[in-house]
C-alpha cells in the first residue's frame, strides 16, 4: 500500500517533526514526511529536515493569505495527503483550513479542550490540575478545536516547574503524534461530527489517580 505523504508545518525547534521522520524510517510505518514548511527563517527544525534529505521551504514575512496560497501550492506539488502542524505557531487562514479539512492535524501540549492557546503547560500548572498531557486533533478554523484523535496523559508532579512538565509532555508527544498518523494512514479513524472513532482500539479499562492509590490509602487510613 502507498505510504501516506505528510507535509509538516513548523515554526521552531522541530522535535515533533524529528519524531515523525524517525517513525518514517521504519520500513513498516505507513507514512513518510514528504515536505516541510516553516513560517520562520532559521527555525531549527529546518536543519532537521535538511539533514534527513527532505524538501523544505521557508515562507516568512507574508500575510496570512499569501502564506496560505503558497503553502497550498507547495503541499499539492509535493503530493502531500496529510498536513501535520508541529509547533506551528501562526493562525492559518480559514480558506486553507477548509481546503485541508479532515486532512490536517495538530498536536497540542494539553488535554484539550483544557488549556487552549499559548503556554498550555504553564496554564495547567497554574490551574493545579493533577493530570495534563497532549492531544492530537483534526484542525478546524477555531484554534485548538477539532475532533480529537488521540490523547496521552502525564501526571503533574508536586513542585514541578513549567520546564520539567513541558519536557515530560514533549516525550509523550513524540510517541503520540506518530501513533495518530499511523491510525489515519491505516484508515482506522472515522470522523463523526465533532468526534472521531478509531476502529480496533478502545480506552483502557481502569482509571488511575494522582496522587497514586497507594499514597492515598496510607494517607487516608
Ligand atoms: C510542542 O510542545 C507542541 O505541542 C506545541 O509546540 C511545541 C513544539 O515543539 N504546539 C502548540 O502549542 C500548538 N498550539 P517542537 O517544535 O519541538 O515540535
Is there an atom of ligand 1 within 6 Å of 87 CB?
yes
Domain around 152? 107-201
User: Do 77 and 147 lie in a common domain?
Assistant: no
Tens of pLDDT along 115-171? Answer: 999 999 999 999 999 999 999 999 999 999 999 999 999 999 999 999 999 999 999
Q: Is the pLDDT of residue 44 over 80?
A: yes
204 CA distance to ligand 1 centroid (A)?
26
73: its cell numbers: 501550492
User: Do 35 and 87 lie in a common domain?
Assistant: yes
Asked if residues 169 and 16 have their Cβ atoms less than 8 Å apart, the reply is no
Ligand 1, closest atom to CA 89? 13
Q: Residue 211 to residues 36, 157, 164, 174: CA-CA distances in angstroms?
A: 41, 9, 18, 25
pLDDT band, very low/low/confident/very high, at 1 (cuts 50, 70, 90): confident
In terms of pTM, does the model score above 0.85?
yes
Note whether residue 163 is domain-resident: yes
Q: Is 127 helix (H, G, I), strand (E, B) or coil?
A: helix
What is the domain-level CATH number for residue 172? Answer: 3.40.50.170
Tens of pLDDT along 173-218? Answer: 999 999 999 999 999 999 999 999 999 999 989 888 898 866 555 5
Amino acid at each position: 500500500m502507498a505510504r501516506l505523504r505528510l507535509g509538516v508545518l513548523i515554526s521552531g525547534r522541530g522535535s515533533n517533526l524529528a519524531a515523525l521522520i524517525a517513525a518514517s524510517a521504519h520500513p513498516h510505518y505507513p507514512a513518510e514526511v514528504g515536505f516541510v514548511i516553516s513560517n520562520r527563517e532559521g527555525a531549527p527544525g529546518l536543519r532537521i529536515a535538511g539533514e534527513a534529505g527532505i524538501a523544505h521551504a521557508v515562507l516568512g514575512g507574508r500575510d496570512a493569505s499569501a502564506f496560505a496560497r503558497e503553502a497550498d501550492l507547495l503541499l499539492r506539488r509535493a503530493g502531500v495527503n496529510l498536513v501535520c502542524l508541529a509547533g506551528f505557531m501562526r493562525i492559518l487562514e480559514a480558506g486553507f483550513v477548509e481546503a485541508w479539512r479532515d486532512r490536517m492535524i495538530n498536536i497540542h501540549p494539553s488535554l484539550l479542550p483544557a488549556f487552549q492557546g499559548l503556554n498550555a503547560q504553564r496554564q495547567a500548572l497554574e490551574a493545579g490540575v493533577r493530570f495534563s498531557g497532549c492531544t492530537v486533533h483534526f484542525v478546524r478554523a477555531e484554534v485548538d478545536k477539532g475532533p480529537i484523535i488521540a490523547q496521552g496523559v502525564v501526571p503533574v508532579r508536586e513542585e514541578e516547574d513549567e520546564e520539567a512538565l513541558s519536557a515530560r509532555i514533549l516525550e509523550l508527544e513524540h510517541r503520540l503524534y506518530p501513533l495518530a498518523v499511523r491510525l489515519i494512514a491505516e484508515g482506522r479513524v472515522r470522523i463523526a461530527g465533532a468526534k472521531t472513532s478509531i476502529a480496533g482500539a478502545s480506552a483502557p479499562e481502569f482509571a488511575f489517580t494522582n496522587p497514586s492509590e497507594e499514597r492515598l490509602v496510607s494517607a487516608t487510613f
